[in-house]
Structure 1
Amino acid sequence: MCVDSVAGALAAQEAGAHRVELCSALGTGGLTPSAGLVEEVLAAIALPVHVLVRPREGDFVHDAHEVAVMARDVGLAVRLGAHGVVVGALTPDGDVDLDTCGRLVDAAAGRPVTFHRAFDLARDPLDALDAVLALGADRLLTSGQEATALAGAPLIAALVRAAGDRLTVMAGGGVTAGNVARIVAATGVREIHFSGRDRVASAARYRNERVALSGPAGDYERRTTSRAVIEAVLAAAR
């Protein structure tokens, strides 16, 4: 389960998830969570917590300062007690950035490393898989370089076959209760990744509707992790 709050982590645990990927700003695809959020989630749940390290939204081509920030954030997550980290970086030509990612793997100090969906923007998926394997990553998250894991199922299946037992290929991207069984059957994956989000109304009783600090959606509705959505996906997957 990909979550961005303590409440979301608790919902994931209560629904029967097996692991949490912790981030902030899920609406942008996820960014590095704060140290405070990492500490609170680790204290609140018994599930393994893997921390996403991504310094900004947008592409995965990072300058020297961003790489330094990511290396520090990986080290901090490990020191705080994270069970693993989720990272990724590409070169301007669309290849896995081995230098940057190698630095991040080193900073993880032996904790499990997942290469995230930067993979889905790579130029050649099989070359990228070889690079991820060379880094020693434990897991690859991918939608099969398509908008959803269902659309990318043929490539995901090929990656599962190519990786064998050297790396876990995890399907993610548009996973729902309505399609998860087809994704699992078509790809052979043993792990799935989704956020299980639903819309909830704000608890605020006083409202100033003239201002929208959170963008067009306004400030009085938000998306959060839903235990019911998670349970439905897990049931369909089983």
Structure 2
Amino acid sequence: MSKIEIACFNIEAARIAQQHGADRVEFCADMQVGGTTPDLRETEIVRRELHIALHVMIRPRGGNFVYSMQEFAQMKNDILTYNALGADGFVFGILDEAGNIDKQKNNALVELAGGKPCTFHRAFDEVSDSVQALEDIIACGFTTVLTSGCAPNVVSGQEELKRLVQQARDRITIMPGGGLRSTNIKRIWQDTDAAYFHSSAITDGSETAVGEEVKALVKAVN
């Protein structure tokens, strides 16, 4: 049995995710750019309504994952703010200009999270060396890596996902995500033996999770 995280870009999506059996919500804004730090007031509402785990995206903008010192300062401030709000965990990832994990900056954010679990998001899919990157992420103290297997989607990245799960062993959770749907999750699960999966559960062209899709994702791995 594996677990399901739903990427939610609005309050209603978070409600739907919880109602239909998701284990965790990744709350963020700006679906068009892959997610950014959500609105504080909306997050306050979601935090009050959810009894399942709430992880908050910490990403100041879309685009690449190399951040200025001003953007990094904003990320630190956001972690402190959302930590005080009661977030259960955080989602972020910083690379250097060579496509390596920026260990110093990531480690600083993990420490600011105060022991709450941190997911290194799909910035991982842009690293120059996935083997070394995973070791660096583990060393920084992350608990999870969200990845499509360094490919456009989980189906094309399936072999790399399987390899990453094997490399990770019990040291960190590899969470497949990116084009993950109820139509393909079972074979990805059976092939990779991953313990956690990530999907927006959007199947109708909107920006809100579809309840039946959330339910189907949960059922597929239980």
* TM-score, normalised by the number of residues in structure 1: 0.88
Is 1:195 matched with 2:179?
A: no
Equivalent residue pairs, number: 217
Give the equivalent residue in structure 1 for 2:118.
113
Asked whether the equivalents of residues 53 and 85 of structure 1 are also in contact (C-alpha less than 8 Å), the reply is: yes
Q: What is the aligned counterpart of 2:17 among 12, 19, 30?
A: 12
For 1:163 and 1:233, how far apart are their aligned partners in 2?
24
For 2:216 and 2:13, how far apart are their aligned partners in 1?
16
For 2:171 and 2:201, how far apart are their aligned partners in 1?
29
For 2:77 and 2:207, how far apart are their aligned partners in 1?
29
For 1:74 and 1:198, how far apart are their aligned partners in 2?
31
Asked whether the equivalents of residues 7 and 200 of structure 2 are also in contact (C-alpha less than 8 Å), the reply is: yes
Give the equivalent residue in structure 2 for 1:86.
91
For 2:114 and 2:130, how far apart are their aligned partners in 1?
27
- In the alignment, residue 193 of structure 1 is paired with which amino acid? H
Give the equivalent residue in structure 1 for 2:3.
none
Instruction: Give deviations 1:64-90, integer Å, cap 9, x for gaps.
Output: 101000011111110100000011010
**1:1-238 to 2 correspondences below 5 Å:** 1-199=6-204, 222-238=206-222
For 1:78 and 1:223, how far apart are their aligned partners in 2?
26
Instruction: Give deviations 1:118-160, integer Å, cap 9, x for gaps.
Output: 0000000000001001001111111000011121111111111
Query: By how many angstroms is 1:234 displaced?
Result: 2.0
Asked whether the equivalents of residues 98 and 135 of structure 1 are also in contact (C-alpha less than 8 Å), the reply is: yes
SS at match of 2:208: strand
For 2:112 and 2:78, how far apart are their aligned partners in 1?
9
* TM-score, normalised by the number of residues in structure 2: 0.95
For 1:94 and 1:21, how far apart are their aligned partners in 2?
25
For 2:46 and 2:98, how far apart are their aligned partners in 1?
37
Q: Could you say what the CA RMSD is over the residues aligned between the two structures, in angstroms?
A: 1.1
Moved over 6 A (4+): none
For 1:223 and 1:162, how far apart are their aligned partners in 2?
34
- In the alignment, residue 24 of structure 2 is paired with which amino acid? R
Query: By how many angstroms is 1:12 displaced?
Result: 0.3
Query: By how many angstroms is 1:223 displaced?
Result: 2.6
For 1:40 and 1:192, how far apart are their aligned partners in 2?
25
SS at match of 1:13: helix
Asked whether the equivalents of residues 9 and 207 of structure 2 are also in contact (C-alpha less than 8 Å), the reply is: no
- In the alignment, residue 175 of structure 1 is paired with which amino acid? L
Query: By how many angstroms is 1:235 displaced?
Result: 2.1
Unaligned runs of 5+ in 1: 201-221
Instruction: Give deviations 1:160-187, integer Å, cap 9, x for gaps.
Output: 1111111111110101111101111111
Higher relative contact order (CA 8 A, sep 6+): 2
